[in-house]
Amino acid sequence: MSDLNLNSLYQELILDHYRKPRNKGELPEKTVEIHMANPVCGDEIRLQLQIEDDKIVEARHVGQGCSISQAAVSMMTHLIKGRELTEAEGVAERFTAMMHGDEEAARDRSMGDLRALQGVSKFPVRIKCALLAFDALQEAIKKDRVES
């Protein structure tokens, strides 16, 4: 597949997650909630997780912002649901590496739909938009460990 076709496919995937976000809404059984905002651009995410026995049983989000921040949180919550906390941390680390230009992370099939956001790494001003959800995830895991 040509780079042009792949970029077009990735753009469509990002817009699909933005227009029809997965896991959006309140989580009644949440065990941890983190609010993150980027005041520079107005992106806002409230990540809610239900964690049991070091496993993310359920993940939901509420918020607003650009297509990149909202697609990233949609993709992330879909990918981390059912994973051990250490696995979710690994996803956050891989995604962060991808946003900083790590080509190997961008080719990692275990990243699922998140690989569609690899082009964001070429736009430094937008990297924070993509990382907002992952910053929230890392904070949520830290908070859960402190409170457990």
Backbone region of residue 128 per phi and psi (left: phi > 0; alpha: psi in -120 to 50; beta: other values):
alpha
Q: pLDDT tens-digit profile of 11-68?
A: 899 999 999 999 999 999 999 999 999 988 899 999 999 999 999 999 999 999 999 9
CATH 3.90.1010.10 fits 3-147, yes or no: yes
Going from N- to C-terminal start, the domains of the chain cover: 3-147
Q: pLDDT tens-digit profile of 83-107?
A: 999 999 999 999 999 999 999 998 9
- pLDDT for the residue 1: 53
Residue 21, helix vs strand vs coil? coil
Q: pLDDT tens-digit profile of 65-81?
A: 999 999 999 999 999 99
- pLDDT for the residue 10: 78
- The answer to whether the beta carbons of residues 10 and 2 sit under 8 Å apart is no
Could you tell me the sign of the dihedral formed by the alpha carbons of 72, 34, 41, 87, in that order? Answer: negative
- pLDDT for the residue 41: 87
